[in-house]
Each structure stands twice: as C-alpha cells, then as structure tokens.
Amino acid sequence: MTRNTMRAITQDTLGEPDVLREAELERPEPGVGQILVAVHAAGVNPTDWKHRRYGTFLGKPPFTLGWDVSGVVEAVGLGVSLFEPGDEVFGMLPYPYGGGSHAEYVTGPARAFVPKPAALNHIEAGALPLVALTAWQTLVDTARVQPGQRVLVHAAAGGVGHVAVQIAKALGAYVIGTASAAKHAFVRGLGADEVIDYRTADFVREARGIDVVLDPLGGNDRLRSLETLRPGGVLVSILPRDFGEVVERAAVLGVRAKAVLAEHDRAGMAAIAALVESGQLRVHVSGTYPLAEAARAHTQGETGRVTGKLVLTVRS
C-alpha cells in the first residue's frame, strides 16, 4: 500500500539551524501541468539558510525549504506529456514560492524539469540546478557574454562561482576569478585564466578592462567591482536588495548594473544538461548529509567556507 505521508524538513519558527526538524507531512499530489517527483537528492543553497533565519520572501513558517531537486517521476498531472512515471529528472522548483524539495516527495511544473544526464548521479544532479541557472541567466541571458570578453567571477570556488567559471569558459570568455589562496588550484582546474587572492591583493588593481562582473557578494565589494569595468561593461549581481546605490554609481562611471534572481527555466536547464553531456560543466560536491541532518548542512553552509555545493541525500 502506498504511503500517503512523507518525511520532510520543516520549521515552526525562524532562527538558527536547530529550528529545523524532520516531520511526517502529507504527500502531495500533482496538479494540472505538474509532476510528482520522488526526491533522491536536493542541494542546499544560501537562500535556504537565509529563508530559515529571516523568512525573506516566504514570510512566517511553517514551510519546507529547498529548490534544487533530482529524482524519479512518481506520477504526472493532467496535461503532462513530457514525462512518464519512472523517468529520471532534475530541475529547480519555481523560486521563491514553489520550493519544498527537502522532503521525500515534491510537486512542481513539468517544465521546470529536464531529463537527468546519464553523466550525473542524483547527488551531482541535485547540486546543480539553482547555481547553474543563476550563472546561466546571469552570463547568457543578462550579460550576453561573447567570445573573447573578460569576465570577473567573485567567490569563484563557491556554489554559483565554480559553475559560472565553467559556463563563461564554454562561452569563450577570458575568466578571472577571486578566491582564497588555498582554492586557487581548484579554480584554475575549472578553467579560470587568472585567480586573484582577495585576502592579499586588491582585485580592483588586478582586474582591469572587465566586460562582465558576476557578483554574489554584495556590500562594498559590489560597488568597488564597478571600477574594474571598461566603458559600457556590466555588473550583474545575484543579490538584488539595496541595489539602487549600485545603479547610480554605475551611471556615473559609464557602466551598467543589473540584478538577477534565478527563475525556473526549461530551456536553461536543457542548455546546462548539454554542457554536462559535452564535458564542459561539472559540479563539485564537498559534502552530503542525510535528510534528517539538514540542520548540520545549514550550519556548515553558513560558515561561508564551502567549496562547491552541499547536498541532502533522501534516497540511496
């Protein structure tokens, strides 16, 4: 007999990682145009711990976090023709209001998913969607990176950064990354042409004539990054809050500034899957945690020292 409940990570209040708890919730059913996915693995991203702590876009709990998902189609809703039960898929749930992948099952629009590449296991596939779509929509859709352009990627060893380096290289760019000295070999191994130690060097002096800056940092580094851009260059930030000052400063300097929040995107996911299959993109998973230990994953993620991604494993 099929269970009508599932294990999920939920919280009743905002706060530290210890507010997260495993609970037995009702298993969802796919609606019109949706699929039900049996989750095998789900990435953990900074947006998860920010929502856990502040609510951000979701407001007050209770809620289940998680937007990355890799798994197997369990059932399809009315009108779905893209998938059938048993298909292996991966994708990003609609951000920010369609999350909930830190659970045994999740529903989402069929067109938020694509077939999982055979080159990826579920853990790798579960790590990739949000960071890859963020990098793709930043570099391709917004900045429109062209071959030969100079791209500066901050936090190049992080979740978004390490994927962005590879996508920028696949687009034919000359890529400069910032990272601590201990991570320079890793970033160069991704294809970066130069790596700057942000702890000992001033990236504004070291990186000049930049066409595109990818900013996952915010704060004063975001403002200072505008000074690296050539006339007409663009800074794209994945942190859109408090962005007005950046736009104003960019106008003074004769450059541009844009802010991006990742959207679920079947075409983008298909392009990402193609890069994986061609060997141009890989994801680095630095740690995995069972679903029940989601709080430990949040604690580790909030250190800010993670290389690549952390993933929750739901099924073996």
pLDDT, mean of residues 65-82: 98
pLDDT, mean of residues 96-122: 98
Report whether pLDDT(316) > 80. Answer: no
How many whole angstroms from its chain centre is CA 69? 11
Calpha distance 167→132 (Å, rounded): 9
pLDDT, mean of residues 103-107: 98
Q: Do 257 and 238 touch, CB atoms closer than 8 A?
A: no
Calpha distance 266→281 (Å, rounded): 17
Q: 237: closest CA among 267, 255, 213, 254?
A: 213
pLDDT, mean of residues 229-233: 98
The DSSP H or E segment spanning 125 is helix 122-127
Report whether pLDDT(127) > 90. Answer: yes
Q: Do 74 and 117 touch, CB atoms closer than 8 A?
A: no
Confidence of residue 51 (pLDDT cuts 50, 70, 90): very high
3-state secondary structure of 204: helix
pLDDT, mean of residues 122-140: 98
Report whether pLDDT(2) > 80. Answer: no
Q: 141-195 pLDDT, tens per residue?
A: 999 999 999 999 999 999 999 999 999 999 999 999 999 999 999 999 999 999 9
3-state secondary structure of 126: helix
Strand blocks (E) in the chain: 5-10, 21-26, 34-44, 68-76, 88-92, 105-109, 113-115, 150-153, 174-179, 194-197, 210-215, 229-237, 256-259, 285-290, 309-313
Report whether pLDDT(1) > 60. Answer: no
The Cα diameter of the chain in Å comes to 66
Confidence of residue 66 (pLDDT cuts 50, 70, 90): very high
What is the predicted pLDDT for the residue at 34?
Answer: 98
Q: Do 176 and 229 touch, CB atoms closer than 8 A?
A: no
pTM of the model: 0.97
Calpha distance 22→189 (Å, rounded): 38
Residues forming beta bridges with residue 21, ordered by sequence position: 10
pLDDT, mean of residues 120-136: 98
The domains of the chain, with CATH numbers, are: 5-128+283-313 (3.90.180.10), 131-259 (3.40.50.720)
Q: 303-313 pLDDT, tens per residue?
A: 999 999 999 99
Q: What is the mean pLDDT of the chain?
A: 97
The arrangement of strands across the sheet holding 174-179 comes to 194-197, 174-179, 150-153, 210-215, 229-237, 256-259
From residue 273, alpha-carbon distances to 47, 90, 202, 279 in Å are 23, 9, 36, 10
Percentage of the chain beyond pLDDT 90 is 97
**Residue 301 tokens, joined:** 């993620």
Q: Do 42 and 6 touch, CB atoms closer than 8 A?
A: no
